[in-house]
Every structure is written in structure tokens, then in C-alpha cells.
A and B are shown apart, each in its own frame.
Chain A
């Protein structure tokens, strides 16, 4: 038991250090801390499940230990920036004011081809339009184009774009969402009226129905069984 505990802590710390040394490109949208816990927990939990001769505690103790370590480290990280940088690293600026920072590219072990792939994923085909490209601590690339290449906003175009707020689901797969209706200040009667106008008799025939802040309704009927 004690051995499982100490081993879990040691392997946890070792993996965090290893992932930090490996760099951001290995992470794939998870912070080092999250990746370590995700990888280890699945393996630890499966061992006593596969081998019934191994007590369940051999899985439970290390999993709980990892969970506690993760909670503690992430808690401290939120409060102390320096500690967070130590555990998760800091973002790397790969393109600064339009110039590729070659030293940073080398440090992150990213080739130009890989940078191009990431830029294309971000919808950029011409590198000269990029003002900043930042490799985040979770391995994703944030791309900020020059203002003249950034998509124009309605404000810049002097267009009055109404903000209709977040659409709220009121009927989902035949079930009425009473809490959401209450949030909108509507009731079932109102929904029934709206459905009747669309030629639907019952909630059960509705696949999805949403209403936004301006009262705009999106509605889809359930498909008939073939």
C-alpha cells in the first residue's frame, strides 16, 4: 500500500518533469498536469480490473493519490504564477510582429512545415498575414493576424448586428425543459401555441426547439420511423 502511494507520487512527478522537457508539441490540447493524470489513471484503474488476484486497493490508492496531487498542484498553480510556469511552462511566441522567431522554433522543436500545418488548421494560408503566433502551454497555436487581414467586425462595417443572446433549448427529443422555459419567462402553454402554429400537436413530436433572447425560434420535428 505504502509502496503504491510513494510510487504514484514519484511517477506523477517524473512524468510532469518529462513532459515539460519534451515540450508543448507532445501535449495535444492538454496541460502537462492533465495529460499525466489522464494517462496514468486509465492504466492504474485497468490493472486490478484485468487481474482479479490484485486487490482493488492497488488501483484505488494510486488513483486517489494522483487525484489529490493534481488538485493540490492545480490549486497552487492558480494562486502562484511562478509555480504555474514551473509546472505548465509559459506560452512561446513563434511569430512576433510578422517575423518567425527561429530561436523559439528551435527551442520548441517545431519545423517550418509543422508551423505551416498549424497555421492552415487556423485558417491561415499566407504567413505574411500573421502578426503573432503563440504556442500555448497546452500545445495549441493561437494565431493573431495583422489588423488589415483580420475579419471585419460589424462595428467596423457600421452594420447594426442585433445581439440575440444565447439560444435556450425549450424542447429536446420530445421532453420539455421546464427550467429553461422559466428562465425565458415562458410557459408550456406558449410552447404548445408555437408548436400548433407549426402544425405539431405534441412535444413528443419535436426533436429540438430553441428560443433566443429576441424570441427567434429554431425548430426541428422528429423524423418518422421508417
Chain B
């Protein structure tokens, strides 16, 4: 009986951790997406300094959580998003409006994809 209780407790613990992780990754993606969106808006309005600051904040947040994301996300996803961030930064620095808009959309799409893959829904499970 002890073994079964231990198994049930461990199963609940795993489920709890999984749900918590889904929430944490979803929240992180939402937060970063918000910053990237605001950065894109500022770039569109010609406020490149603000756009740059917001993007740096988003990147710092992403980098800050790398220890955690490195454990729970596929490394290819992390590397792809980091590369996309650098590309977007480059376009913001060079003040290339159309390229920055395209790169920003790509970053947001990758963030949405990570959130989708980590979320519990039919498409991610099957």
C-alpha cells in the first residue's frame, strides 16, 4: 500500500510540476511577446530608442530565464529564438523599419509556438 501511495503522490507531483511549468512558460512567453510588441510599435512610430530599450528588456528577460528554459525546453527552440532576437536587435539598431517588423513578427511567432507546444491542448498532445 505504501508503494501505491508513493506512486499516487509522485504522479500528482509530476502533474503539478507539469501544470506549473506550462503556466511559467506561458507567462514568460506572454510577457516577452508583450515587450516585443511594444518594441515593434515604438519602431513603427519612429521611436527607435524606446524600441531598442524594450527589446533589450525582452532579451534580458529571456536570457535571465535560460537556466530554467534550458531544463524544460528543447535546446533547438531556445537557440532559434535567441538567434531571432539577435536578428531583430540588428534591424532595430540599423533602424531598418520593414526588416525589423518582419523579424519582430518572427520572434512573436516563435514565442507563440513555444507556448503552444508547452500548453496542454489537443494539437500539442496528438
Q: Which residues of A contact B (CB under 8 A)?
A: 1-7, 10, 52-55, 57-58, 61, 64-65, 67-69, 71-72, 75-76
Contacts and interface: CB of A to CB of B under 8 A. Distances in A.
Contacts of B10: 64, 68
Contact of B18 (A10, A61, A67): A61
Interface stretch (B48-56, B73-81, B88-96, B103-111): B73-81
- If over half of A's interface residues share one DSSP class (helix, strand or loop), that class is named, otherwise mixed; here it is helix
Nearest to A76: B4
A86 B100 CA distance: 60
B17 A75 contact: no
A64 B11 CA distance: 8
A59 to B, nearest CB: 12
A55 B22 contact: no
A75 B1 contact: yes
A98 to B, nearest CB: 43
A64 B72 CA distance: 16
B72 A1 contact: yes
B12 to A, nearest CB: 9
A3 B120 contact: yes
A72 B75 contact: no
How many chain B residues sit at the interface, stated as a range, is 20 to 34
Contacts of A55: 70-75
Interface of B: 1, 3-4, 6-8, 10-11, 14-15, 17-19, 21-22, 70-76, 117-120, 124-125
A2 B73 contact: no
Contact of B14 (A7, A52, A65, A75): A65
B7 A71 contact: yes
Contacts of B14: 5, 61, 64-65, 68
A75 B4 contact: yes
21 contacts: A1-B18, A2-B15, A2-B18, A2-B19, A3-B125, A4-B18, A5-B14, A55-B73, A55-B75, A57-B71, A58-B74, A64-B10, A65-B14, A68-B10, A68-B11, A68-B14, A71-B3, A71-B6, A72-B8, A72-B11, A75-B4
Contacts of A71: 3-4, 6-7
- Tell me the dominant secondary structure on chain B's binding face: helix
A37 B10 CA distance: 17
B118 A1 contact: yes
A10 B19 CA distance: 17
A4 B118 CA distance: 9
Given A2-B21, A71-B3, A57 B125 contact: no
A1 B11 contact: no
B125 to A, nearest CB: 5
B15 A5 contact: yes
Contacts of B74: 53-55, 58
Given A6-B125, A54-B74, A1 B7 contact: no
A2 B22 contact: yes
A53 B118 contact: no
Given A54-B74, A67-B7, 8 more contacts: A1-B118, A2-B21, A3-B117, A3-B120, A52-B75, A55-B71, A72-B7, A75-B3
B64 to A, nearest CB: 18
B46 to A, nearest CB: 40
Nearest to A78: B4
